[in-house]
Structure 1
Amino acid sequence: MTTWLLDLGNTRLKYAPLVADGQLGAVHAVAHDDAEAWLAALPEGEVACIASVASPARRVALLDALCARFQRLHRVHTEPALGPLRIAYANPAHLGVDRFLAMLAAADGRAALVLGVGTALTLDVLGADGRHGGGRIAPSPEVMREALHARAAQLPARGGDYTEFADDTAPALASGCEGAALALIERSLRHATTLLGQVPRLCVHGGGAQALRPHLPVHDWVPDAVLQGLARWHALRIA
Structure 2
Amino acid sequence: MSTGTEPGAERRALVVEDDEDIRALIEFTLQTQGFAVTAVDSGLAGVDAVRATKPDLVTLDLGLPGIDGIEACRRIREISDAYVVMITARDDEIDRLLGLETGADDFISKPFSARELKARVNAMFRRPRTSEGSPVTHVPIPADEHEVLEHGPLRVDVDGRRAFRDDVELELTRTEFDLLTELMRTPARVWTREALLRSVWGTEWASDTHLVEVHVGNLRRKLGETRDGPRYIRTVRGVGYRMELAD
Same-fold status (TM-score > 0.5) = no
TM-score when normalising by structure 2:
0.30
TM-score when normalising by structure 1:
0.31
